Structure 1
Amino acid sequence: MSRDLTKTFSYMCLHLLVGFTVAYVLTGSLAVAGGIALIEPLVNTVAFYFHERAWSGGKGPLRLAHAHAHG
């Protein structure tokens, strides 16, 4: 498994735990907290993966913007 995917999975686990805890404290409902904890972090995890790819170099959007600004 690539470093990016491993880091993404680790972040997802942490985010699920935090999301569930915060939602449960605010709602007092296991069902609502579970739903929030599954939907929001999973969407955020996908966004994080692509964010990491863009920042890691190569031909990501940040490298392209930098190349055009200084090229």
Structure 2
Amino acid sequence: MTRLRHIFRAHQPTLLKTASYYLIHIVVAACVAYAVTRNFWASLTLSLLEPTVQAFAYFFHEKAWNRAQMRKSQAMASQPALEPSH
């Protein structure tokens, strides 16, 4: 359990953002699925399945973007400053 707590703390902002996105996505997906199917059970199934897969994809997408931004910042920091020409 300690390892799980450590993982949650290390990724807490991204996990909380993912959870809020997940809830919004479920509501929107349920409304759209019900409007299309007019079937409560089909809309419930679709609204839980698709956002669940999207939530996992979003988490890893966010981590990849953060890693890319960090690499870009490190690359820019390691470049020598240009001196103005006279």
1:36 — aligned with what?
Answer: 46
Distance 2:64 2:31 in 1: 30
C-alpha distance in 1 between matches for 2:62 and 2:27: 21
Q: Report the counterpart of residue 26 of structure 2 in structure 1.
A: 16
Unaligned 5+ runs, structure 1: none
Distance apart, 1:56 and its partner CA = 1.2
Give the drift of 1:31. 0.3
- Between the two proteins, the alignment pairs up a number of residues equal to 61
Unaligned runs of 5+ in 2: 1-8, 76-86
Q: Deviations over 1:19-41 (max 9, x none)?
A: 00000000000000000001000
Percent identity, please. Answer: 38
- Greater CA radius of gyration, 1 or 2? 2
Matched, 1:55 2:65: yes
The runs of 4+ residues in structure 1 deviating greater than 3 Å are: none
Paired amino acid for 2:36: L
Query: TM-score, normalised on structure 1?
Result: 0.78
2:46 maps to amino acid? I
Whole-angstrom CA distance in 2 between matches of 1:36 and 1:19: 7
